[in-house]
């Protein structure tokens, strides 16, 4: 059965950002096992970490793939607008410097630092500087399935949604391809946040038995994942029978309560969403970006 959307009613809005400086959070940080480390973290232009790569094994934490960007204005509402209007799969165009005119793809947004990550080809990354600016065609907020008002959709370009491969069953439930299914008790930082249209929340991977049981070691940047018993319709909370679908946007972290970050894409109660395991359920595989070029 076909899933009809309201894409013809959506508003497309230009928003502009620039490269976010790379950060050092502290001289040293302490992980959940007591390990002490001084690692790269968020921000900047990351050349060798891309959509499709594993979120594990890096000498870094909360690493953001591709280009980390933010609004260069100091208006907090405008900064929130840059995050809010930019949806996964949107077009990102370089509008300054040697790479001017090059087109890339919005990956997703990271809460706390309020970064928007962008994917570009390697030759474009090599031409970018930390002074460059990007124009995003923000399109997707307000998207919904016309016949399923009880399913909430956030942060995704309609074209990407159509290519993802969702299917409506005869019983009215919707099958969603995902690479990993995460138990609700394995979610951490970000629970309780009210806004589903900016930021992310983290999958906890510090318990080896849980990682093994649910194959969390398969997580890659750009993976679509399902979180069981989590309701993200009006905020991130626990509710049995709910399912939230998201996409992985930053790497693992040894910090207590943190792990690979997941941006919310859709959520529903009453087991309406049915996750189907699929190794190809990744942003890069669908759009031919990152490691899938």
> Has residue 4 got a pLDDT over 70?
yes
Sign of CA dihedral 73, 79, 83, 86: negative
Beta carbons within 8 Å of 174's beta carbon, 6+ residues apart: 3, 145, 148, 151, 166, 167, 168, 268, 272, 273, 274
pLDDT at residue 80 in the model: 81
Residue 1 confidence class, pLDDT cut points 50, 70, 90: low
Considering the domain 7-138 in this protein, what is its CATH number? Answer: 2.40.10.170
Beta carbons within 8 Å of 75's beta carbon, 6+ residues apart: none
Domain ranges of the chain: 7-138, 152-292
Unique residue bearing structure tokens 């907090």 = 76
Measured CA to CA in angstroms, residue 40 lies from 22, 46, 250 at distances of 8, 10, 13
> What's the rounded Cα separation, in Å, for the pair 86 and 237?
24
Structural class in CATH, domain 152-292: mainly beta
Sign of CA dihedral 38, 127, 53, 264: positive
Residue 109 confidence class, pLDDT cut points 50, 70, 90: very high
What is the value of pTM for the model shown?
A: 0.97
pLDDT at residue 25 in the model: 85
pLDDT at residue 2 in the model: 77
pLDDT at residue 86 in the model: 98
pLDDT at residue 143 in the model: 98
Q: Which of 11, 132, 158, 137 is nearest to 70 (CA)?
A: 132
Mean pLDDT of the chain: 96
Counting residues of the chain whose pLDDT is more than 90, the rounded percentage is 93
Q: What is the pLDDT of residues 123-177, one digit of tens each?
A: 999 999 999 999 999 999 999 999 999 999 999 999 999 999 999 999 999 999 9
Cross-strand bridge partners of residue 181:
226
> Has residue 209 got a pLDDT over 60?
yes
> Has residue 106 got a pLDDT over 70?
yes
> What's the rounded Cα separation, in Å, for the pair 143 and 161?
10
Counting residues of the chain whose pLDDT is more than 70, the rounded percentage is 98
Beta carbons within 8 Å of 106's beta carbon, 6+ residues apart: 86, 87, 88, 89, 90, 91, 92, 116, 117, 118, 119, 136, 157
> Has residue 243 got a pLDDT over 70?
yes
């Amino acid at each position: 059965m076909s899933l009809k959307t309201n894409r013809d009613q959506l508003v497309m809005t230009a928003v502009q950002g620039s490269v976010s400086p790379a950060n050092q959070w502290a001289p040293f940080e302490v992980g959940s096992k007591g390990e002490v480390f001084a690692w790269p973290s968020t921000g900047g232009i990351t050349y060798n970490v891309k959509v499709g790569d594993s979120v594990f094994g890096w000498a870094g934490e909360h690493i953001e793939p591709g280009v980390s960007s933010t609004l260069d204005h100091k208006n907090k509402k405008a900064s929130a607008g840059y995050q809010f209007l930019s949806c996964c799969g949107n077009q990102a165009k370089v509008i300054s410097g040697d790479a001017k005119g090059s087109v890339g793809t919005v990956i997703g947004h990271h809460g706390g630092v309020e970064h928007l990550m962008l994917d570009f080809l390697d030759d474009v990354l090599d031409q970018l500087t930390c002074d460059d600016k990007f124009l995003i065609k923000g399109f997707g907020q307000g998207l919904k399935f016309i016949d399923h008002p009880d399913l909430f959709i956030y942060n995704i370009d309609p074209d990407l949604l159509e290519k993802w491969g969702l299917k409506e069953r005869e019983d009215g439930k919707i099958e969603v391809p995902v690479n990993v299914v995460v138990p609700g008790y394995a979610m951490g930082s970000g629970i309780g946040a009210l806004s589903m249209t900016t930021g992310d929340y983290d999958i906890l991977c510090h318990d080896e038995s849980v990682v093994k049981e649910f194959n969390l070691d398969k997580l890659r940047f750009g993976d679509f994942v399902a979180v069981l018993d989590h309701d993200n319709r009006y905020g991130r909370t626990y509710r049995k029978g709910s399912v939230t679908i998201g996409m992985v946007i930053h790497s693992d972290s040894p910090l207590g309560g943190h792990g690979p970050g997941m941006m919310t894409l859709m959520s529903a109660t009453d087991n309406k969403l049915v996750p189907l395991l699929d190794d190809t359920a990744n942003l890069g595989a669908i759009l031919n970006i990152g490691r899938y070029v």
